[in-house]
Amino acid sequence: MNKLPGADADDTSVRMEVRDDGGRTDLELDTGDALIIVEAKRGWLLPRQPQLAAYAPRIADRGSGVLVTLSSASDDWAAASVPSDVNGVPVRHLSWAVARRLLAARARQSRGQERFWLNEFSAYLKGALRMRDVADSRTYSVAISQARPERGAKRTFREWVVDEGIYFHPFKKGWPRQPPNFLAFRWDKQVQRIQRVVSAEVVPSLATALPDIPSSPTSDVPHAIYRLGPPLPGTPIPSGKPYRASHRWVLLDQLLTAGSLAAAMEGTRRLVGRELPNDADAEDE
């Protein structure tokens, strides 16, 4: 992201959750000459054009500035989903991974109050984005079959997981909006593998990201792709009841100790006080 005219860090004011008739912004950086408005979204979500258009007049009135989208979405996914400008106001995307690296690098070079406020700012952004903590043990349980993603594909869904350490699903309603830390894979009425998610991204086209999968109307759409770590010990675990192709959340410790997925689901409900909801069930913010 290019430096804005007049963007002197010593003269920049920071305002959080600023409200006017156009709505409430998450973060504003005001250099005096330019206005930077940051709209943060949780997980892979990105702001829609009408929301950005509601904030654009603030920057247009100032005469200089930029709208910044901030989330876990990759640059490629953002480029395919967010316009490059709204009513003449430029729009730029910054992924949380990049923001976190920049903040951490600056904090290491800082001392005293500057380091304190950089750490506070990082904590605020993490809360605004509802980042999933690496210690979060919620596990997403899915069924994987020996079917192939597309006719002519070299590998089956199961082979992608077992042989390549890759899992993917459509990025749409009914699926997670932010990546889980753990995935539990079921087939033959058992949880056969539990693996940590090492990295995850949303891509505009599965066929483009994984060339082994032929192009088609169902593969040339947004997908979430996960790179997986090695399998955890403790499997197989009986399902305990027929879950078929459903995908469900369960706590990892319950899954590894309860004796079956069904018992782990019940143990999770007792501990949490309710069944863990799918991220997609939450309102997009």
Look at residues 95, 85, 79 and name the one whose alpha carbon lies nearest to residue 59: 85
Give the residue carrying structure tokens 């940590």: 196
CATH hierarchy code of domain 9-129: 3.40.1350
Burial of 246 (0-12, 13-18, 19+ CB in 10 A): exposed
140-182 tens-digit pLDDT? 999 999 999 999 899 999 999 999 999 999 998 889 888 899 9
The ranges assigned to domains in the chain are: 9-129, 138-281
Q: Determine the pLDDT at residue 133.
A: 65
196-222 tens-digit pLDDT? 999 898 988 999 899 899 999 999 999
Q: Determine the pLDDT at residue 280.
A: 44
Q: Determine the pLDDT at residue 88.
A: 92
- Cis upstream peptide for 236 (omega within 30°): yes
**pLDDT < 70 regions, the chain:** 1-11, 124-135, 277-285
Look at residues 164, 171, 155, 150 and name the one whose alpha carbon lies nearest to residue 193: 164
Threshold 0.75, pTM exceeds: no
Task: Please name the amino acid found at residue 94.
Answer: L
